[in-house]
Amino acid sequence: MKYLLFCFLALAAIARAATTQKTPNIVFIFSDDHAYQAISAYGDARKLLDTPNIDRIAKQGVRFDRCLVTNSICGPARATILTGKYSHLNGFPNNSNSTFDGAQQTFPKLLQKAGYQTAIIGKWHLGSDPTGFDFWQILPGQGVYYNPPMIKMGERVAMPGYVTDIIGDVSLEWLKNRDKTKPFMLMCQHKAPHREWAPPLRHLGFDQDRVYAEPATLFDDYSGRGVAVRDQDMTIAKTFTDRDAKLALPAGISPEQQKVWDAYYGPRNAKFRAANLAGKDLVSWRYQRYMHDYLATVKAVDENVGRVLDYLDKEGLAENTVVVYASDQGFYLGEHGWFDKRWIFEESVRTPLIVRWPGVTKPGTATRALVSNLDFGETFLDVAGVPVPADMQGRSLQPLLRGEKPANWRAAFYYQYFEYPSPHRVRPHYGVITDRYKLVHYEGMGEAYWELFDREKDPNEMKSVYGEAAYAATITELKKELTRLRQELKVPAEIPARFYGNQGAGGEGGKKKKQAKQGDL
């Protein structure tokens, strides 16, 4: 009898614990074009910048070292996160002529149905209005860094100040005024450090004219790779504009703000013009200016990450909140002489991902498991206890967050980029990525065109070994895997011309591309 009573009381205690356990909140902090090289938790050899607040998440959680994106460009990356599907299924393959279909299934809608309060604040960049959110306040198109107009629940509002701080302010305001009877999911999405990486005025000169170490490949001549790599238009040498270099004013800046701007950049720009630099000297100067400006914008993002973390701590929410920091893709910080993204190559395809879930993630850990932005939506649903729809193409990261790697975790990943020729002339390509290799096929070149990179022997991806006899068996296996992945992911054999942008897949003719509200420079 006593044993039965003990069992009954134990079961009752378990039941009470199950019913009183809180559904976790989710805070997804998302930046635009934030290179993992510019997060100190990732340990880049150049030690470009300390990011103490983003590092707080890493010290208390898990750092993912091979988080890959399906299509390395802003809008398509966001569509993939919302839907858990590749571009060919979610209908948003490029930034030039795509509009997100807000009627389709997204993870915010599913969380909303499950009782979550949902909000998105900051950069949206998908053309249509957000759906699946109880509250939204977004930048129109790309947005601007200074005094950015925003759209709040359909109404345009003026927002004086610096864009990163404004997004932080609105995010904290929403957190403070939310319905506290419900779990919440907040997407706090920064514009920074997107081109033209205009710094907050308080951080002009933050690095005291530091001379940054140049990447070993800054003056890459692209030998060892084919015409696709040589023919691009995204170099610091040729594609860097006066606005990129801060030789011209940014959009939206006020006369009062311009006084501070001119006090810093004016004397430095005069010295630059007097020097009349050319060739490698000019590239080196631009690289230093680029690093100052880009890293100053990241510094502001990191500060606003800290503001959100501090709020969660102060309000006693941290222990029951999953915090995720990520970017829409990687970015070049001078490697191969480039800025921007788009490529299957590492600095572009690999995005930062850091997750903190108190009581679940082991503090200060890291994993090299192949994960993707394709997995984010599935993870958020799984964390919330919401069934993951079968048509989503990623996998929940919850086992990896718990320190477990399933035996059947992906060993190969499919990538596909479409937008061509404008901007930046990066050829449409697709390929398969493993821990060691990248097999790439370039489209629209009039003949079968492949490259293979062995990252174990060539981590900077400087030389294609496609066609070398020693790699014949590897190429055969990778092509089989590529075929399998394309079938599994339902990639159409023929891609619609509109996927490549306003000019179609095959070249430079046809309708001239406009700088639309959706455009990504």
pLDDT tens digit sequence for 165-203: 999 999 999 999 999 999 999 999 999 999 999 999 999
Token pair listed for 65: 């070292």
Q: What is the dihedral of CA 199, 216, 426, 245, to 10 degrees?
A: 30
H/E element, 487: helix 472-488
- Compute the distance between CA of residue 59 and CA of residue 52 in angstroms, rounded to an integer: 10
Q: Which residues pair with 118 in a beta bridge?
A: 185
**Residue 458, pLDDT score:** 98
> Is 0.75 topped by the overall pTM?
yes
**Residue 445, pLDDT score:** 72
Phi and psi (nearest 5°) for 64? Answer: -95, 125
Q: What is the pLDDT of residues 350-394, one digit of tens each?
A: 999 999 999 999 999 999 999 999 999 999 999 999 999 999 999
Give the position of tokens 């920091």: 325
H/E element, 164: helix 163-177
Q: What is the dihedral of CA 150, 156, 158, 162, to 10 degrees?
A: 0
**Residue 15, pLDDT score:** 39
Token pair listed for 518: 């959706």
Phi and psi (nearest 5°) for 161? Answer: 125, -160
- Compute the distance between CA of residue 203 and CA of residue 190 in angstroms, rounded to an integer: 17
* Nearest Cα to Cα of residue 166 among 293, 292, 300, 63: 300
Q: Which residues of the chain register pLDDT less than 70?
A: 1-21, 446-447, 503-521
Helix 279-314 to helix 163-177 angle (10° resolution) is: 10
The DSSP secondary structure of 223-245, one letter per residue, reads: TTS-HHHHT---BTTTT--TTTT
Using DSSP, state whether 107 is helix, strand or coil: helix
Q: What is the dihedral of CA 20, 21, 26, 27, to 10 degrees?
A: 80
* Terminal alpha carbon distance of the chain: 75
- Compute the distance between CA of residue 383 and CA of residue 181 in angstroms, rounded to an integer: 19
